[in-house]
Amino acid sequence: MKYRIVEQTRPGGLLAQVYREVLAPAFPPEEIESESSVAETLEAGLGSLLVAVDESGKPAGAAFGRWWEASRVQMLVNLAVGPGTRGHGLGGRLLQDAVDVWRERYDPCLIVAEIESPDARMVHEAYGDPRRRLGFYESAGARVLDLPYFQPGIGGVSRRVNGMLLLAIHADPSFTPDRPDRLSGKPLRSFMTDYLLAAEGQAPSDWDAKALFKAIDREGGVPMGRWGTSA
Ligand SMILES: CC(C)(COP(=O)(O)OP(=O)(O)OC[C@H]1O[C@@H](n2cnc3c(N)ncnc32)[C@H](O)[C@@H]1OP(=O)(O)O)[C@@H](O)C(=O)NCCC(=O)NCCS
């Protein structure tokens, strides 16, 4: 099967079909924002949806990214390939295309993604295997940030997801000023502040958030590397 990758930066188009058939089935409900929230991000001019369509025009995979202008951080919010198509290179192609498009558009930038830690149990076959997923990103050059990371709660603090990792998929050298394996805390702090506020509706004051920001602010930057070796 041949696929072509198309990008849309406005709501409408393939969004409803992609959301319902590709993205929503691939994630536990607490790890994916609503279709209307994705549409709002696109409406605001901050979203990018790359869709892999087959020869009949049916979506087989998608990558959705959101731009955080103040910190110059692009977040790969969701990447998914339909279960029947996994393991044939389409996810890798989508990731590479997304990184190329976003680097070109937002340079200089940092591209991040959040994934379940490989320590997490496999919740459901449809959501994929956390270990293999980490392998997928590491093969694409992503590095794990040494942070006590949690996914901000979509809709409130009580919906946070623990046991997540934050990955740097791409980091412009201006974000690693001291050493290539140390990410500057400044853009990360700005990004996490905006992200937590947008997701949870209020600035956090709890210990988990304090620990996260303390780790972000540590001297010399945030270590990043392969999982289990970045500390
Ligand atoms: C992760 C994912 C996008 C990869 O897409 P893909 O087209 O299968 O990937 P490719 O064929 O380009 O690369 C193969 C690699 O993908 C990963 N992969 C393949 N099937 C997978 C699955 N069921 N679960 C997790 N990772 C998988 C493996 O690392 C695999 O390499 P391996 O065969 O050496 O183990 C896809 O498996 C998926 O949609 N998973 C569910 C949703 C998800 O986890 N998204 C990522 C978080 S944003």
Q: pLDDT tens-digit profile of 123-155? A: 677 787 889 999 999 999 999 999 999 999 999
Residue 204: how many CB atoms within 10 A of its CB?
19
Helix, strand, coil distribution of the chain in percent, nearest 5: 40, 25, 35
∠ CA 119-200-132, nearest 5°, is 25
User: Does 30 score more than 90 pLDDT?
Assistant: no
* Predicted local distance difference test score (pLDDT) of residue 230: 52
User: Does 121 score more than 80 pLDDT?
Assistant: no
User: Does 71 score more than 70 pLDDT?
Assistant: yes
Of the pLDDT bands very low, low, confident and very high (cuts 50, 70, 90), residue 64 is very high
Instruction: Supply the residue whose CA is at minimum distance from atom 1 of ligand 1.
Output: 133
Of the pLDDT bands very low, low, confident and very high (cuts 50, 70, 90), residue 228 is confident
Average pLDDT of every residue of the chain: 95
> What distance in angstroms lies between residue 133's CA and the mean position of ligand 1's atoms?
5
Report CA torsion sign: 165, 166, 170, 175. Answer: negative
Interacting residues of 48 by C-beta distance below 8 A, sequence separation 6+: 7, 9, 64, 65, 66, 67, 98, 101, 102, 105
- Convert the pLDDT of each residue in 168-181 to its tens digit: 999 999 999 999 99
> What distance in angstroms lies between residue 171's CA and the mean position of ligand 1's atoms?
22
Percentage with pLDDT > 90 across the chain: 89
> What distance in angstroms lies between residue 119's CA and the mean position of ligand 1's atoms?
17
Q: Say if ligand 1 is within 6 A of residue 90 CB.
A: yes
- CATH superfamily, domain 4-225, is Gcn5-related N-acetyltransferase (GNAT) (3.40.630.30)
How many Cα neighbours within 13 Å face the side chain of 31? 23
Percentage with pLDDT > 70 across the chain: 98
Q: Say if ligand 1 is within 6 A of residue 228 CB.
A: no
* Predicted local distance difference test score (pLDDT) of residue 231: 45
**Backbone torsions φ then ψ of 169, nearest 5 degrees:** -85, -30
Residue 41: how many CB atoms within 10 A of its CB?
21
> What distance in angstroms lies between residue 91's CA and the mean position of ligand 1's atoms?
6
